[in-house]
Amino acid sequence: MLLLVVMSMGSATSHSLAQQGEAQPRLVILLKVDGLHPDAIERFDLHHIKTLQARGTSAETGVMIFPAHPTVGPYGDWHTTSFPNVSTLAGTLFLTEQPRFLQHVFRSRGKTLHAAGSAAYRSLNRGFDYILAASGASDREVIDFAIRTLEDEDDIAFARIMLQETGAAGRVQSGKNRSDDPWAQNVFYPGSPYERALRQADREIGRLLGFLDRRGKLGDTLFIVMGDGQSRHGWHLTLDEEAALTPIIFAGPGVAAGRTIDYAENIDVAPTVAALAGLEGPNADGGTGRVLTGVFVDGEPLDHPKLLTAINRQIRDYQRLHAEAVLASFDNPTMNLLLMELQHELLSHHQFFTPGRVMEWAEAGDLAAMVAANDWVLETLRLALRDEVYRLGDF
């Protein structure tokens, strides 16, 4: 029995396969396809991903945190990849300099493997025993490395495999394309480089599944398959709402077959995978995701608070409203004063938790409090822009 996971988020709860009397996976593979848009699975009839989807449970809507990719500032000092990649392995939005990752949890079970087609993921390497994180490595080379290592080492307990070529095709061949090519700004155009790369990625997934099947390991493997953000215009554009969407699919031991849950977030993956393996999640704090109980054979659907969707919407609203307020400030000194106070913790009730402050998000205490603080700032800006009502500090 194979377990495939496609991603989701929330706050941690206790649930394990042991409680259901189910076998635990001997091998867990978090398999990500960079640039895998949720609509692409059906649109391009991706056979091997669809097979896993049919054998497991998938989320109708899978959401990742705002797909920012800074390499400067406090976040860039420690992390070389996007918010979704770090928060997925950590299982929390409250990021630290060196988070405890999912691979650290599985080291008690055996060795760990990281295979990725880009050096951008090197900050995720901590806790992995076997590593390939090389820019320019093809999807085939990444799968070759994974198969070779799994063949040589019989005690691999957890692996993160990242296929990069689809994302590169979307970013360069579509997103940055200013020519008359019909797939410029449109990854879904028939025959686009994005489509060709994605079909190849699906074939590579099939090759990995075939290897595991021949070795008699497929039934004991928990597969986690997901994307890494993709706008149909190319790359994971931060202002494109759909770029924060991802497939989230679970298939394997203890997972219901042919089921769909309505919603999941990327920070839910680590606690859910840990629960399926009978382990504790890597982090337990106010930013931690939830165990997706609806994927378990006998599990009840989770009433998800969908806070990550709220945070993504708030960030986009803030960028627009703040830009409008900055422009208005050139002619309106009171607006200028308001913006200054909104960034002063002694003069404003709340300060917005922007992506630039991601390393400070934990100061909110929990995600619900973070949403409430952001809402207060957004309403303050709306009142000033719409009604010329200014919540100026008087304390």
Residue 176 — pLDDT band, cuts 50, 70, 90?
Answer: confident
Domains and CATH numbers, the chain: 3-302 (3.40.720.10), 308-387 (no CATH)
Nearest to 49 by CA among 297, 338, 337, 250: 250
> Position 10: which residue type?
G
- Which of 58-62, 91-95, 299-303 is the least confident region? 299-303
Q: What percentage of the chain has pLDDT greater than the value 90?
A: 81
pTM of the full structure: 0.92
Q: How many CB atoms are located within 10 Å of the residue 358 CB? A: 23
Average pLDDT over the chain, rounded to whole? 91
Q: Is there a contact between 113 and 133 (Cβ–Cβ < 8 Å)? A: no
Question: Residue 330 is inside which H or E element, if any?
Answer: none
Q: Which has more confidence, 157 or 1?
A: 157
- Residue range 278-289: average pLDDT? 97
Does residue 20 surpass a pLDDT of 70?
A: no
pLDDT for 288: 98
- The larger pLDDT score, comparing residue 238 to residue 202, is at 202
Res 140: pLDDT = 98
Q: What is the pLDDT of residue 205?
A: 98
What length does the chain have? Answer: 395
SS3 156: strand
pLDDT at 389: 95
Residue pair 270/102 in contact by the 8 Å Cβ criterion: yes
Q: What is the pLDDT of residues 26-78, one digit of tens each?
A: 999 999 999 999 999 999 999 999 999 999 999 999 999 999 988 889 999 99
Percent of the chain with pLDDT over 70: 94
Burial class (CB in 10 A: 0-12, 13-18, 19+), 74: middle
Q: State both tokens at 11.
A: 């706050």
